């Protein structure tokens, strides 16, 4: 007989108190009801794995039916492309739904799958674009993701930027970066379209996705929300998203933020995360690498004519729309931002400068110092242009960047720091950027502070001296792998922008003091532009053309005897510079550079500039030397070594320029030399030129 009731206790055990358990019973383990655990099987839940398994089963079933003699399935059922396209759209929908799963691991995995799917879509579109004579419509739209699917992924990733899990936000950020800016492997393979469609999320032939302002506004709204989040990690993710959109479409960001003054508060919030506190304060390494985001955002919103994308010379745009710049925020609001951020930035700057040369042992500290100096330079230059920079502000800037500087400009520039850092190219570039930022910060007060002006002169002289290759060590610093001259144009961009700003904004006070830098500037640009590996030669040349145009239009430069000598040396280098550029591959940029340099020369020739009456050497004046060198713009005849007495004709730069630039060159040559060019590069008829020539 089976005992049902427990046996009664006897003896001393009967007097012991039993412990009664209170509460619900312990749940069974999670694996107790899972059949795959007891059956020792593997359960596949990944949509892509299921799709591959289903496709293999379909193909295997078709092979079996053919082998057994049964009627084979239709072509559409056996077409793996159609099946994979259908599965791709089905999987994409599943992955999109996983991004809103209640489990954080599923949400992160869903975004990772979306990144792979979107990258594969871009690669497919790039392959189609590379195939000659085959378009997307001919290959079928079903094999590609449609704009609605991309839009759904975009909105889901934006919503996930407020997720409290770091992995989910990181995966969502990768999805947004993939959508906003496809990888170079998929972006550069296709054929570029000259005019992109203005439709939202439309596809071009190269596989790129084009957007309008709504995309930028949506991203900036999410950035604004993340910057006010209670979690610091969420705020850093918002900063990373702002960095992406600012890098992809800065002009759209400028237009969207200028609709209100909310961007001023955004700058303050970004600054509180990136530029507050000492380095190593617990911020992520990726976020700390974006300390330049604060000055980048300020320069995007405040600086005037920062780019040189106009087709010709001085655009008159330096004073263009003074009251329009910074629209959305009044100058008084910018002044409040400056006074709010100055104490925090100054404290951080002083802490970094107290480290002296030890600051260069940590690249992140150098980046922070450079970002602070650039932010000060941008705000003070803007306030100086609005006459809102007070005397106390100027004294504070002078105290920070000149009086309490623990090192000199010579210690920062490559030419003098080569002995100790000849093998560290990144350290040299960081030093050069820091020196440039300090010089820019001193620029608004350089006209009233002699030490700030001296620092500016020292930086520009050292930068141009290093670019001219006066020291072999400086050349090795620019490129230890032998590509120093290729990076020279990039190194020149910062000093050239500083010099142009000094000449334009302080034409009466700083321009006469910096005139001696014009000839070395032209030589440095010529050397940088002639290097075979240079990728920034066009931008550097356009900046030099702007500087030359400002100088030739300046009465202060023309009134000085030494100024005319410097101008003469610079003008006579223009034909040599343009002739050396004739072999450049980018014809459009070459035409812009040629037109930018010929415009100020035409104003000199047609306006009776004192330069043409200034003796350049003991024998010939500047006008005579210019007449001798101008024909090289069209062609140059050199003696033939193989045939004595014969000449070989070398085409000049104007043979690769547009009709407008060739007409300007022919007009200039006819006005100065009294002859029209007899070459195929010249326009066939000069009726337009004749109508503009002065009547005698």
DSSP alpha helices (H): ranges in 315-424? 331-353, 363-385, 391-398, 409-412, 418-421
User: Which residue in this structure is represented by tokens 């030399």?
Assistant: 673
Compute the distance between CA of residue 192 and CA of residue 126 in angstroms, rounded to an integer. Answer: 11
State both tokens at 686: 């000069």
Query: Six-digit token pair at 499?
Result: 């010099």
CB-CB neighbours of 331 under 10 Å: 16
What is the DSSP secondary structure assignment for residue 615, as one 8-state letter?
Answer: B
CB 377 within 8 A of CB 440: yes
Measured CA distances, 379 to 253, 436, 502 (Å)? 19, 16, 16
CB-CB contact of 545 with 597 (8 Å): yes
Give the sign of the dihedral formed by CA 370, CA 375, CA 380, CA 385. positive
637, containing H or E segment: strand 635-639
- 643's tokens: 């045939």
Cα–Cα distance between 495 and 457 in angstroms, integer?
A: 11
Q: Quick one: angle between helices 561-580 and 518-530, nearest 10?
A: 10
d(CA 580, CA 360): 39
SS3 650: strand
Regarding pTM above 0.85, the answer is no
Condensed to tens digits (0 to 9), the pLDDT of residues 225-243 reads: 999 999 999 999 999 999 9
DSSP 8-state symbol, 164: S
Three-class secondary structure assignment of 438-497 = HHHHHHHHCCCCHHHHHHHHHHHHHHHHHHCCCCHHHHHHHCCCCCHHHHHHHHHHHHHH
pLDDT at 616: 53
Residue 484 backbone dihedrals phi, psi, to 5 degrees = -65, -45
CB atoms within 10 A of CB 448: 13
Q: Are strands 202-203 and 209-210 parallel, antiparallel or unpaired?
A: antiparallel
CA-to-CA separations, 107 to 96, 110, 170, in angstroms, rounded: 9, 5, 11
Residue 311: closest CA among 11, 19, 592, 47: 592
Q: How many CB atoms lie within 10 A of CB 155?
A: 12
The residue extents of the domains of the chain are 47-191+198-211, 247-578, 579-696
Most distant CA pair in the chain, distance = 141
Residues 6+ apart with CB under 8 A from 248: 180, 181
The two three-digit tokens of residue 513, written as one number = 């003091």
Three-state secondary-structure class, residue 41: coil
* Predicted confidence (pLDDT) per residue in 532-545, tens digit: 555 688 889 999 99
Q: Distance (Å, rounded) from C-alpha 600 to C-alpha 667? A: 13
pLDDT score, position 2: 65
647 DSSP assignment = E
Six-digit token string for 518: 């014009």
DSSP 289: T
The DSSP code for 324 is T
Going by C-alpha positions, the residue among 490, 600, 579, 572 that lies closest to residue 537 is: 490
Per-residue pLDDT tens digits for 170-219: 999 999 999 987 544 444 443 333 333 323 344 444 444 445 688 899 99
Question: pLDDT value at position 695?
Answer: 42
Place of tokens 């999109």: 96
Q: Which residues are CB-contacts of 273 (< 8 A; sequence separation ≥ 6)?
A: 227, 232, 235, 236, 239, 283, 287
The rounded Cα 316 to chain-centroid distance in angstroms is 25
Neighbours of 58 (CB within 10 A): 14
Q: What is the DSSP letter of 635?
A: E
Residue ranges in the chain whose pLDDT is less than 50: 48, 51, 55, 58-59, 72-73, 75-79, 183-210, 278-283, 305-324, 416-423, 470-485, 618-619, 680-696
Please give the radius of gyration of the chain, using alpha carbons only, rounded to the nearest integer. Answer: 34
In the chain, % helix, strand, coil (3-state, to 5) comes to 65, 0, 35
Rounded to the nearest 5°, which phi and psi values hold at 42?
A: -115, 130
**In the chain, count of helices (H) and strands (E)?**
32, 4
User: If DSSP states are collapsed to H, E and C, what string results for 521-576?
Assistant: HHHHHHHHHHCCCCCCHHHHHHHHHHHHHHHHCCHHHHHCHHHHHHHHHHHHHHHH
Could you identify the residue written with the tokens 């012991």?
Answer: 16
C-alpha torsion angle, residues 458, 463, 469, 470 (rounded to 10): 0
d(C-alpha 412, C-alpha 438), whole Å: 10
Phi, psi of 202, rounded to the nearest 5 degrees: -90, 155
Q: Which pLDDT score, from 0 to 100, does residue 498 have?
A: 94
Tokens 């930028």: give the residue: 216
Cα(203)–Cα(146) distance, integer angstroms = 9
How many residues does this entry show for the chain? 696
The pLDDT of residue 140 is 52
């Amino acid at each position: 007989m089976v005992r049902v009731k427990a046996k009664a206790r006897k003896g001393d055990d009967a007097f012991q108190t039993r412990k009664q358990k209170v509460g619900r019973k312990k749940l069974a383990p999670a694996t107790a009801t899972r059949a795959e655990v007891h059956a020792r099987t593997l359960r596949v839940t990944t949509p892509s794995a299921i799709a591959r398994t289903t496709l293999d089963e379909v193909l295997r079933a078709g092979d079996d039916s053919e082998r057994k003699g049964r009627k084979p399935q239709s072509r559409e059922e056996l077409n793996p492309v159609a099946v994979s396209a259908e599965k791709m759209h089905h999987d994409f929908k599943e992955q999109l739904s996983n991004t809103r799963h209640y489990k954080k691991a599923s949400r992160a995995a869903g975004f990772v799958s979306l990144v792979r799917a979107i990258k594969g879509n871009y690669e497919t579109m790039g392959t189609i674009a590379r195939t000659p004579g085959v378009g997307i419509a001919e290959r079928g739209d079903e094999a590609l993701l449609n704009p609605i699917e991309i839009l759904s992924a975009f909105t889901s990733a934006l919503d996930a930027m407020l997720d409290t899990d770091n992995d989910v936000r990181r995966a969502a950020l990768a999805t947004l970066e993939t959508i906003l800016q496809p990888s170079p492997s998929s972006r550069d393979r296709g054929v570029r379209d000259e005019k992109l469609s203005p439709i939202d999320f439309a596809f071009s032939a190269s596989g790129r996705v084009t957007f309008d302002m709504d995309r930028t506004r949506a991203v900036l709204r999410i950035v604004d929300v993340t910057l006010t989040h209670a979690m610091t990690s969420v705020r850093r993710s918002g900063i990373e998203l702002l960095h992406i959109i600012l890098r992809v479409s800065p002009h759209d960001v400028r237009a969207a933020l200028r609709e209100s003054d909310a961007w001023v508060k955004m700058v303050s919030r970004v600054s509180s995360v990136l530029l507050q506190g000492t380095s190593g304060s617990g911020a992520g390494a990726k976020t700390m690498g974006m300390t330049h985001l604060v000055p980048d955002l300020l320069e995007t919103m405040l600086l005037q004519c920062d780019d040189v994308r106009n087709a010709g010379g001085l655009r008159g745009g330096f004073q263009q729309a003074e009251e329009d710049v910074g629209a959305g925020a009044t100058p008084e609001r910018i002044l409040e931002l400056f006074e709010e951020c100055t104490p925090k930035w100054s404290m951080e700057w002083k802490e970094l400068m107290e480290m002296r040369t030890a600051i260069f042992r940590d690249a992140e500290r150098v980046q922070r110092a450079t970002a602070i100096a650039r932010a000060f330079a941008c705000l003070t230059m803007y306030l100086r242009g609005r006459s809102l920079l007070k005397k106390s502000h100027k004294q504070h800037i002078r105290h920070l960047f000149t009086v309490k500087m623990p090192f000199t400009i010579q210690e920062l520039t490559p030419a003098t720091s080569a002995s100790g850092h000849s093998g560290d190219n990144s350290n040299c570039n960081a030093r050069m950027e820091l020196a440039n930022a300090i010089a820019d910060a001193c620029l608004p007060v350089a006209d009233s502070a002699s030490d700030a002006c001296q620092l500016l002169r020292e930086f520009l002289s050292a930068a141009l001296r290093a670019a001219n290759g006066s020291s072999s060590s400086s050349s090795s610093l620019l490129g230890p792998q032998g590509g120093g001259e290729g990076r020279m144009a990039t190194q020149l961009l910062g000093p050239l922008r500083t010099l142009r700003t000094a000449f334009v904004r302080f034409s009466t006070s700083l321009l006469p003091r910096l005139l001696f830098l014009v000839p070395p500037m032209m030589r440095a640009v010529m050397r940088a532009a002639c290097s075979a590996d240079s990728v920034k030669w066009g931008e550097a040349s356009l900046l030099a053309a702007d500087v030359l145009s400002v100088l030739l239009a300046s009465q202060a430069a023309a009134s000085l005897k030494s100024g005319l000598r410097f101008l003469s040396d610079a003008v006579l280098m223009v034909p040599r510079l343009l002739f050396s550029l004739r072999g450049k591959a980018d014809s459009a940029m070459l035409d812009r550079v040629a037109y930018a340099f010929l415009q100020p020369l035409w104003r000199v020739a047609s306006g009776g500039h004192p330069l043409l009456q200034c003796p350049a050497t003991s024998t010939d004046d500047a006008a005579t030397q210019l007449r001798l060198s101008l024909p090289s713009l069209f062609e140059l005849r050199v003696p033939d070594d193989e045939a004595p007495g014969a000449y070989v004709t070398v085409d000049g730069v104007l043979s690769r320029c547009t009709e407008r630039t060739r007409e300007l060159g022919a007009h200039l040559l006819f006005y100065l030399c009294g002859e029209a060019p007899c070459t195929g590069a010249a326009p066939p008829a000069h009726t337009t030129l004749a109508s503009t020539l002065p009547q005698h």
